[in-house]
Each structure stands twice: as structure tokens, then as C-alpha cells.
Structure 1
Amino acid sequence: MESVDMKSPCVKCSKGCGITTCNGCQQAYCIDHFNQHRQELAIEVESLDQKHDLFRNNLDRKFTEHPLLLQINQWQQDAVNTIQMIAETARTLLRKLLDQTKNEIEKSIKNLADELRSSRECDDYTEIDIKKWTGQLRMLRKTIESPPTILITENETLVMPLISVHNQASTFATENFANHTATVENSTHPSERFDQIVGKAITSEECRVITCNTWFVSYPTIYGSGRYSSGAHRLDYQIEKIGNSPIFFGITSSLESVRDNDENATSIHG
């Protein structure tokens, strides 16, 4: 029996001349409508890039015009000259906390911008990539709308109330923090403990339990206390609770310095 070569018609003009298929939407196009389809994708990426720039500008304005800075300034005006040093100390700590939050968001924004720029220059993107980038931008926007809550407290027992700056996790951060808890049970190596930490994580139970917070678009790095030069070694870990973020177990040379964001390392074992 003679075989018939069935071609998918162009999704735009319905003619039986679909010569190529888009890897993103899996639709067949003729040459003219394929070029038109690519142009439509380019317009979507351009729009996403503009939204990114607008978000970046809003981020600068939000942290530059933070109302808590105005509260500290008002308190300083009502205080006497002898407490100006305390006001400056509180202001410096507040800016440090705000800058820490801003820098973490800026780092995520830069990674997204670099990926967008690289894909646009190489014309290497599909609807799948656009959907991923849109989701990342939505996550960053949600992060800026629910930043860590910073409170100003007053010591009312003094004649002139003193102020201090405290960082209190927001509801959004707290909910995510509770979703990333790992417990280590080292029956074969009772001396093994969690050691150095880079990022948002805390230890408990004599450094045998680590609780990680990954509500920013970055992951903490936790190093173990053990050092091994040869042989086979077994370390038992028990994960009590895990959310949507992945957990990576690996090894690294003790000669390398402690570094942030090992997920971007050029070489890693795990």
C-alpha cells in the first residue's frame, strides 16, 4: 500500500503547507505565519522587559521613601542633642536591614534580567520560557509587597524614650519558613553537626537541627562540621518537613572558602 505523507495545516491560514512546528506551543506554521508568530513572541518579551524596568524603579522608590526612616527623623527632632548618637545608631541599623532585603531582591532581579537579555539576544525562547519569567516576576512582586516587618520599639521607663530597630518576619516569610525544616540524625557519626551558614537558616538542638528560610529567590548554604580525607563515610539525615523548594546534599573541598549560592557553582558533587 502506498503511504501518504500527511502534513499538518498552518494553524493561522489552515493551508496544508505547515512547514515548521513551534517548540513552545507545538503548532504548525507556514513560513510567513511562523515569522509573524516569532514577532508576536518578541513583543511579549519586550513587554515583560518593560515591566521589569518599572518594577525596578518602584523598588528603589519604596526603599528610599521608607516611612520608618521618617519616624526615626521625627523622634530625633523631639529629642535633645545628647541622644543624637542613639538616633544615628538606630538609623544605621534600619538602613542595614532595608539594604539587606533590597540587595536580596536586586540579586534575583539581576538574574532574571540577565536571562531575559541572553535569550533575547540569541532569539532562544518559547512560550514556556515566557511563562517561567512571568512567574518569577510575579514572585518578586509578591516579595516586595510582603517584606520583613521592621518595628520601632520605645523604652518608656526612661524620661526620654529611646528607640531601637528590630526585624520581625512577615506573615508571608513565616509561612514559608515553616515549610523548610530538616533534622539530622547521625547515629553513626554522633559528633557530626551543622557548622557554617550562608543565608537565612538557624540551628537548634546543639546544631543537629537546621531550619531554612527560602522565601527569597535564593537558597541558604549550610556546611557540616566534619572533615574527611579518605575512606567511605555515611551521614544519615532525616527531613521532617519540606515545602516547594528543593534540597541539595553535596560535598566540597575544605580548601575552598565558604561561598554563597553553591547552586551556581561551575563544579559541585552531590
Structure 2
Amino acid sequence: MYRRRHSYPYEHREEVNSQLDHLIYEHDQLQKQVQSQTINDISRPLTAQINQWEQDSINRVRASAEQARNKVAQLIDENRQHITRRLRVVSDEVKIKKMVYVELDLERWNQEIEKLKKEVNMIPTLLTDTNSIKVIPAISSTSSLFFTDTLVRTEKFDKVYGPAKIEQWGSIAEQQSLDQFSHVRGSQLYSTGVHRIQLKIEKMLNNAWHFFGIISSETPIDQTINSTGEYGWGYGYNQVWLKGVQHKGYGGYDSDMREGDQIELVINCDAKRIELHNKRIQHKHYDIPIDVKTCPLPWQLNVGLYYVGDRVRII
């Protein structure tokens, strides 16, 4: 009984010593494992993910760069065609009036040629202007490169439906009679980017009525009235037109326009909306969301005139 009573502490000690030996063994094995592993062994799975991310980013950047190169080529070609058309207009008028021109004709022709020179010389500046290009970093999974399309947007009045007349190389639209409303379209088509068109109300009989907005280029000009592709603001009675339907006072619009005002029409194709700013009233800004189902891209500038002598200039 005596011996059995004292054997238990001894056996327990042996068991604890065995556990300690195992702990030391595990420690030594783990230390050998840590010392044998290289940085590359440890980082290999994460490095593989980083390498894949790098390749994906490179591919996206290359695709965006190719898209950008194509866009630059397209804009330059559009600009060339636009200027060529305007030169042809000058050339045709010179040929017609060559024997009967007056000094004012010569002055107008010179002014138009000088404008075209400036536009041609502006192309390299616009191409290198960092404000003309916006890049979303390639790390984004949705990254791409977008141009604001600022290179070619010399807007001019181009087509008329009704008794209005286009003058001064498309810079002015003037109503000639009260027979009907006149609708005047711009020459440019807007599909992407953000575009700002500056307009001046030079004449406005009794500050009565004008219309500024856009319309889908798919809408024939003789079908402008009540077309679902027409959006914009009319002076008088707080008229706002959405999908060709009048909504008085939409967005707080109060028809505060008068003769001499300079109006900025912002066409935001990317956000699918248009904005109206009156520079005389800095705190008032209006915007309209555009439903591309009823007003498909591309869009055109759309100006409406009614009273005799009413005149709008693109500046």
C-alpha cells in the first residue's frame, strides 16, 4: 500500500515530461518550417492574384487607349468635314456675288474665314488640353476612357421649318412673319459627352415667347410640334416641355427671360439630361431628365420662334 500510494506522483511527472518533450519537438519543427520557407513561397498565392490584376488592368488600359485613338481620329475627321462644308458655303456665295458684291459682303466673308482659321488652329490645343480628356483609373473594374467631345462643337443654325430665316453663316435665326411657329435646328448631332451652347436673345417682342431645348434627330423637322422627342423651356406661361407635353412650372421654372439675356443650354448626353442657365440670374438653374426611349440619341439643338422680328444668336 505504501509503494502504490507514492507511485502516482512519479508517473504523473513522467507524463508531464513527455508532454514537454513533445512541445519542444513541435516548436523545433515549426521553427524549421518557418526558416525553410521563402518569401516567394508565402506570397505565391497573393502574387498570382496581383499578376492577374496587373494583366487585366493592362488589357483594360490598352482597350481604352485604342478607343481613345479611334475617337480622336473621328473627332478630327468630323472637324475637317464641318470646316470644309462652311468653306464651301463661303465659296459658293463668292461665286454667286462675285460681280455684284458690296463691301459688307467682303467684310462678312473675311470674318468667316478668320473664324475658320481660329477653329483650325485650335485643334492641337484642344487635343492636348487635359480638361478635354477624363480618365477613370485602370484599377477600376469598370474603367474606360471618355472624351467630353469638346473638339468639334461649333454649333450653327442649320434647318428651318416655318417663316424664320437663318443669317450670318448660321449664327442668327430670325422670325419673319406670324403665319406659324418656326422651328430651327442646329447643325450638330450630340450622342456622347457634355456640350454647352451659348445663346443670346437679341430681339423678343414684348418679352413674349421663345423656346430653347433639344429634339431627337430622328424626328422630322416638320413633325416637331408635340413630338415625344421634344424637350425644353418656353418663355411665357412657365412652359416646360417633356416628351412633347407641356408641364407648367416644372422644376420651379418661372419663364424669367427677356431681351438681351444670354442663355446657356447644357446638353449632357452621358447623364441623359439638359440644363438651362440664364447668366443674368446666376442663382436659377433648371434641368430636365431625358427619356431616350421617346427621345433617342443623337440629339439636336431646337429653338422655337413666333413673333415677327424675334431673333436669337449663337455666340
- TM category, shorter: 0.3 to 0.5
Task: Identify the structure with bigger relative contact order (alpha carbons < 8 Å, sequence gap 6+).
Answer: 2
Which structure has the bigger radius of gyration? 2
TM-score, normalization: structure 2? Answer: 0.36
